[in-house]
């Protein structure tokens, strides 16, 4: 039980003893005391006035006096209007520290038995991963780690969008302009090579549209009737019909992309428990659509396309199958969802997808519900904002994206340059330096992205992210390395808590440590790794202030030194747990 819960429980006992009634839900409101007031925990008295039938100050005085007389861990109290500020004793905080220090799994919540699947990444096989994908991957990974810390059984899955008109565009451009080029012959990563042909298709398409418009056609008609687009649409039909040549080219080019993706995932520290492929799930979706059509849930239009009418739900009509019989994203999402819930009996299915798809997932849940699947309400869209750069938004079909691989290299070089400037590499071998640069660069990038509330659009600045001061990954990494240096110097010295008085600053650090499990629970409920990131920063900042003002190794009193070492070790372990949720490694030396 943390100090907030402890005071809440004690206050409930006080109310029952003083006024003869159990306080109802929501009446006991406890919060950390604001920094400008004296105390550790504050009880808000106003909700209890109907029970006490007294003025706020009188009620607070009665409860405060009862707590002081009956709860040994309470040292003192003061009253500010309707707020009862309570100070806990040093012995209480020492007991808390001892309990935290003796728990190697601190921060890990008890098992819930709940099974949660988290889908993230979900790339298209017509282009390499870019900065937007990086935010998706980092959010997906950290939300998975966060839910594991909340005690759930978690499966990380990827759904590769390996079929569709966008894939055919890259394939067609390669046939027209590729001259047999391969990743081996070009020296390019396969995902980059295929992505170049996606951009090339767009160039060819624009040229044809321009020519048709010059010939008198409207721009809208020209975009619908450009010959190269018609060819791509015909190629998609051939693919769904199993045309051997089209399927073979598709397998070859997708293979190039998968190799490239795997290298990028490894550099980001990302892996999956299972990978689904749209090419293997869309048929299940088509079968569901046919079933819904036979039951009158969907309808067929004059051109043969199949739709779901959602106007009665305040939405519009949703296309499920095109007139030529080919499927759309919604089709395969329907099939994939059913497959997953049937295979794993999921309690929750979380889709980590950008906020431009909010409508898509609203429709997905509605359609699954109409098809009679009771688990439709167990779907949760983890919607997040876009990542922008100082120069603006990115457009993949125009080739103006920030490539993920390029960004990883840039981050590494920035981390190396910054570390060399600061001269923090004394005595480190080249391989140790390389490992440190990679750790710092990934820590900087991941933390900078994950500290922002997922729902917000964010501006990413690589240089700003690698700063050894302020709310950054390297600041927290440096704090951990500093503590490890202290502990190395203290090797062989006793580490025991509870044998010495605590400083006020030590009590505040322990209070922050004690709040960590509740922060994990809160972050899990909100699906927000940002809460964990900012907790880690607050803890690192508190410890650094404490370290600056306090002797640890050089403290002459052995009992005091021993307790301070325990506190330092517990801070380091809690930082490791928190940053592991974010997928960030902490170095032992810097």
CB atoms within 10 A of CB 408: 18
Q: How many CB atoms lie within 10 A of CB 426?
A: 6
Task: Tell me the CATH number for domain 406-581.
Answer: 1.10.730.10
Whether domain 3-88 has CATH 3.30.1360.70: the reply is: yes
270-301 b/e (C-beta count within 10 Å ≥ 16 → b): bebeeebbbbebbebbbebbeebbeeebbeee
**Rounded CA separation 436/481 (Å):** 11
Average pLDDT (541-550) is: 96
Query: Is the per-residue pLDDT at 569 higher than 70?
Result: yes
CA 131 to chain centre: 15
Nearest alpha carbon to residue 546 among 485, 483, 499: 483
Local structure of 151: helix, strand or coil:
coil
Task: Kindly report the length of the chain.
Answer: 590
DSSP state of 401: S
Q: Where are the domains of the chain?
A: 3-88, 120-398, 406-581
Longest Cα separation, the chain: 93
pLDDT, tens only, 462-513 = 778 888 888 999 999 999 999 999 999 999 988 988 889 999 999 999 999 9
Rounded to 10 degrees, the C-alpha dihedral 478/484/485/489 comes to 170
- For residue 387, the model assigns a pLDDT of 86
Position of tokens 């993949």? Answer: 396
- Nearest partner of 75 among 86, 83, 84, judged by Cα: 86
| Confidence band for 391, pLDDT divided at 50, 70 and 90 | low
pLDDT at 400 over 70: no
DSSP-assigned letter for residue 432: H
Q: What is the pLDDT of residue 388?
A: 78
pLDDT at position 401 is: 66
Beta-carbon contacts of 491 under 8 Å, excluding residues fewer than 6 positions away, are none
The pTM (predicted TM-score) of the whole model is: 0.89
Task: Pick the more confident residue, 424 or 230.
Answer: 230
Interatomic CA distance for residues 346 and 424, integer angstroms: 48
Is the Cβ–Cβ distance between 415 and 441 less than 8 Å? yes
**CATH code, residues 120-398:** 3.40.50.620
Could you tell me if residue 389 is left (phi over 0), alpha (psi between -120 and 50 degrees) or otherwise beta?
beta
Beta strands in 93-205 (DSSP E): 115-119, 153-160
Provide the pLDDT confidence category of residue 394 given band limits of 50, 70 and 90. Answer: very low
Q: In terms of DSSP H, where are the helices of 226-323? A: 227-240, 244-268, 278-294
pLDDT of the residue at 402: 79
The answer to whether residues 95 and 371 touch, using CB atoms and an 8 Å cutoff, is no
Asked whether the predicted pLDDT for residue 373 surpasses 60, the reply is yes
User: What is the secondary structure of 344-400 as a DSSP string?
Assistant: H--SEEEEEEEGGGHHHHHHHHHHHHHTT-GGGGGEEEEEEPPEEBTTB---GGGT-
C-alpha distances out from residue 152 to 108, 492, 518, 533, Å: 10, 38, 16, 20
CA dist 500 to 87, 457, 549, Å? Answer: 18, 48, 18
Confidence (pLDDT) at 459: 87
**pLDDT single digits (tens) 240-297:** 899 999 999 999 999 999 999 999 999 999 999 999 998 888 889 999 999 999 999 9
Please write the tens of the pLDDT for every residue from 27-85.
999 999 998 999 999 999 999 999 999 999 999 999 999 999 999 999 999 999 999 99
Cβ atoms within 10 Å of 19's Cβ, excluding its own? 17
> Which residues does residue 149 pair with via DSSP β-bridges, in sequence order?
none
Q: Residue 232: which of 220, 221, 224, 244 has the closest Cα?
A: 224
| SS3 call for 44 | strand
Q: Report d(CA 135, CA 393) in Å as an integer.
A: 14
| Spatial distance between the Cα atoms of 397 and 392, rounded to a whole number of angstroms | 16
pLDDT averaged over the chain?
93
**Can you give the pLDDT at residue 398?**
46
Q: Give per-residue pLDDT as tens, 292-323.
A: 999 999 999 999 999 999 999 999 999 999 99
Identify the band that residue 399 occupies on the pLDDT scale cut at 50, 70 and 90.
Answer: very low
Instruction: Decide if 588 contacts 484 (C-beta within 8 A).
Output: yes
């Amino acid at each position: 039980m943390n100090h907030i819960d402890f005071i809440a429980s004690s206050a409930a006992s006080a109310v029952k003893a003083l006024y003869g009634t159990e306080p109802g839900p929501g009446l006991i409101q406890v919060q950390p005391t604001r920094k400008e007031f004296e105390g550790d925990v504050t009880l808000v008295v106003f909700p209890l006035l109907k029970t006490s039938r007294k003025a706020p100050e009188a009620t607070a005085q009665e409860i405060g006096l009862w707590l002081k007389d009956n709860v040994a861990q309470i040292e003192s109290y003061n009253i500010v209007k309707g707020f009862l500020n309570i100070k806990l004793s040093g012995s209480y905080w020492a007991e808390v520290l001892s309990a935290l220090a003796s728990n190697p799994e601190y921060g890990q919540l008890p098992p819930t038995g709940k099974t949660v699947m988290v889908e993230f990444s979900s790339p298209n096989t017509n282009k390499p991963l870019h900065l937007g994908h990086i935010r998706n991957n980092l959010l997906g990974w950290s939300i998975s780690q966060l839910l594991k810390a909340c005690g759930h059984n978690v499966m990380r899955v990827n759904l590769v969008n390996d079929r569709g008109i966008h894939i055919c565009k890259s394939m067609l451009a390669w046939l027209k302009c590729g001259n047999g080029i391969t990743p081996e012959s070009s020296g390019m990563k396969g995902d980059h090579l295929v992505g170049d042909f996606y951009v090339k298709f767009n160039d060819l398409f624009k040229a044809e549209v321009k020519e048709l418009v010059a010939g008198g056609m409207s721009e809208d008609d020209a975009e619908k009737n450009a010959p190269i687009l018609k060819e791509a649409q015909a190629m998609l039909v051939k693919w769904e019909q199993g045309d051997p040549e089209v399927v073979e080219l598709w397998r070859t080019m997708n293979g190039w992309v998968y190799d490239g993706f795997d290298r990028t995932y490894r550099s980001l520290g990302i892996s999956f428990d299972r990978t689904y492929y749209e090419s293997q799930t869309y048929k299940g979706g088509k079968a569901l659509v046919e079933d819904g059509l036979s039951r009158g849930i969907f309808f067929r239009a004059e051109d043969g396309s199949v739709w779901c009418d959602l106007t009665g739900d305040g939405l519009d009509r949703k296309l499920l199958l095109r007139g030529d019989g080919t499927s759309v994203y919604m089709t395969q999402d329907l099939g994939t969802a059913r497959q997953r819930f049937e295979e794993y009996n999921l309690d929750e299915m979380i889709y980590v997808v950008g906020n431009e798809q909010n409508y898509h997932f609203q429709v997905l849940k509605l359609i699954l519900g109409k098809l009679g699947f009771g688990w439709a309400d167990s779907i949760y869209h983890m919607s997040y904002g876009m990542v922008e750069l100082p120069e603006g938004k990115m457009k993949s079909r125009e080739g103006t994206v920030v490539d993920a691989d390029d960004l990883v290299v840039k981050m590494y070089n920035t981390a190396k340059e910054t570390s060399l400037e600061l001269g923090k590499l004394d005595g480190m071998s080249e391989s140790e330096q390389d490992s440190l640069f990679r750790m710092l660069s990934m820590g900087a990038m991941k933390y900078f992205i994950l500290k922002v509330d997922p729902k917000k659009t964010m501006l990413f600045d690589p240089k700003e992210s690698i700063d050894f001061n302020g709310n950054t990954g390297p600041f927290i990494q440096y704090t951990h390395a500093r503590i490890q240096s202290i502990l190395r110097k203290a090797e062989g010295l006793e580490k025991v808590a509870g044998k010495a008085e605590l400083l006020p600053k030590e009590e505040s650090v322990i209070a922050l440590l004690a709040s960590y499990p509740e922060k994990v629970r809160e972050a899990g409920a909100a699906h927000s790794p940002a809460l964990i990131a900012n907790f880690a920063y607050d803890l690192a900042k508190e410890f650094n202030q404490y370290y600056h003002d306090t002797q640890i190794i050089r403290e002459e009193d052995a009992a005091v030194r021993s307790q301070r070492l325990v506190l330092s070790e517990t801070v380091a372990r809690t930082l490791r747990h928190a940053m592991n949720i974010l997928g960030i490694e902490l170095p032992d030396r810097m």
